[in-house]
A = this chain, B = another copy of it.
Amino acid sequence: MIKNNPALCLLLGILFLIACSPAGSDTKNKSKDDLKQAEYALAIHGGAGTMSKANLTPETEKSIREALNNALSIGEEILKNGGTAMDAVEQTIIVLENSSHFNAGKGAVFTNAGTNELDASFMDGATRNAGAVGGVTVVKNPIKAARAVMEKSAHVLLTGEGANQFAREQNIEIVDPSYFHTDRRWESLQKAKAREEQTGELFSIDSPFKYGTVGCAALDKSGNLAAGTSTGGMTNKRYNRIGDSPIVGAGIYANNNTCAISSTGHGEFFIRFAVAYDISAMMEYKEMPFQEAADFVINQKLKAEGGSGGIIGVDKYGNVAMPFNTSGMYRGYVKPGEREVLIFR
């Protein structure tokens, strides 16, 4: 009997391994993804949502594309000159925070109380150190505070008035809360409140900026990865709600062995499904290429659960992934001799 014959099984197994081994070489069969594709790479997003050609004027679209390009240029300049992924990420995000187009820094949305509460996070792929702030109200560039938490404190996540105080002590630029006032975001709050009164739904804001966030991920010439995320959260939020942006593994993740990621979307889903870490885990444990893992998590797993949004990221080889399951995501990337800025599908 051929079936269930242990001796035959062993013999065939050995012959099988010999017959199927590559000739004259024991080099691993590397896929394209396994090769370093770029000396450096940097990807950014300015939020995912229901943006469409119809609700963006040509002027606004042009201005947003300019802001995204400016951010890419700042980041690329640093990487090209041999700067660190961490510096590139921080400086790129500062450009996005200082633009009123995006829901972060200057352009942050309003809470139900008419205030602005900003969240940000920063992560170093080399050490997997991380820092984050939740609900800061007077820090001009929350990404600076997040990096300072990583580098200058024993903690990962500081919140509220304590995080403001930490930023003050670190001599990070403080602004009057009125700095974050923009008429456009104020009107969004009034609309959200009116809609809430009518429908009882807190966050049914039909706006292209529903999931506004900014983020950046970078690979530098030394092979180090870093990521950062910054947001004003959700219009009309209450109870000092914190979303996924300052949560390591959800809104941000960076690991030199896999990838660096920044998320944007319905934060509660990104937290529950540990979206950023999950992509890294699928790469590490299932040996999936970055783009495949990122696409699977955003367009299969998350979508099946009703979670909307996207991520941008860079893997250790310089591959860029920017999947999203909404109708649009402000996004772009640069590599040596390559650059793209995109909004719609």
Interface residues of A (CB under 8 A from B): 2-5, 8-9, 12-13, 15-16, 18-23, 128-130, 134-135, 153-163, 165-166, 202-203, 237-243, 247-250, 253, 267-268, 271-274, 277-278, 281-282, 285-286, 305
A134-B159, A155-B241, A157-B271 known; A16-B22 Cβ under 8 A:
no
Cβ–Cβ contact A2 & B16, under 8 A: no
Report how many copies the assembly holds: 2
Q: Which chain B residue has the least Cβ–Cβ distance from A281? A: B281
Q: Is the CB of B240 within 8 A of A159?
A: yes
Q: Which residue of B lies closest to A157 (CB)?
A: B242
Chain B residue at minimal CB-CB distance from A159: B240
Q: Take A248-B271, A268-B156 as given contacts and tell me if A163 and B240 are in contact as well, using a CB distance cutoff of 8 Å.
A: yes
A247 to chain B, nearest CB (A): 6
Give chain B nearest CB distance to A269 CB in angstroms.
9
Q: Hey, which chain B residues are within 8 Å of A268, CB to CB?
A: 154-156
- Are A3 and B16 closer than 8 Å at their CB atoms? no
User: Which chain B positions have C-beta within 8 A of A20?
Assistant: 4, 9, 12-13
Closest to A4 in B: B23
A-B contact pairs, 15 of them (CB 8 A): A2-B18, A3-B23, A4-B21, A12-B15, A134-B134, A135-B160, A155-B239, A155-B241, A156-B272, A159-B159, A161-B240, A247-B248, A248-B250, A249-B249, A274-B274
CA distance A9 to B18 in the complex (A): 8
A240's nearest neighbour on chain B, judged by CB, is: B162
B203–A154 CB distance below 8 A: yes
* A135/B159 in contact, CB under 8 A: yes
Chain B residues positioned under 8 Å from A203 (CB to CB): 154
B-side contacts of A23, CB under 8 Å: 3-4
- 17 new A-B contacts, CB < 8 A, other than A155-B239, A157-B242, are A3-B23, A4-B23, A8-B19, A9-B19, A12-B20, A16-B16, A128-B273, A129-B272, A135-B159, A155-B268, A157-B271, A159-B239, A159-B241, A161-B240, A162-B241, A253-B274, A277-B278
CA distance A160 to B113 in the complex (A): 15
Chain B positions within 8 Å of A2 at CB level: 15, 18-19
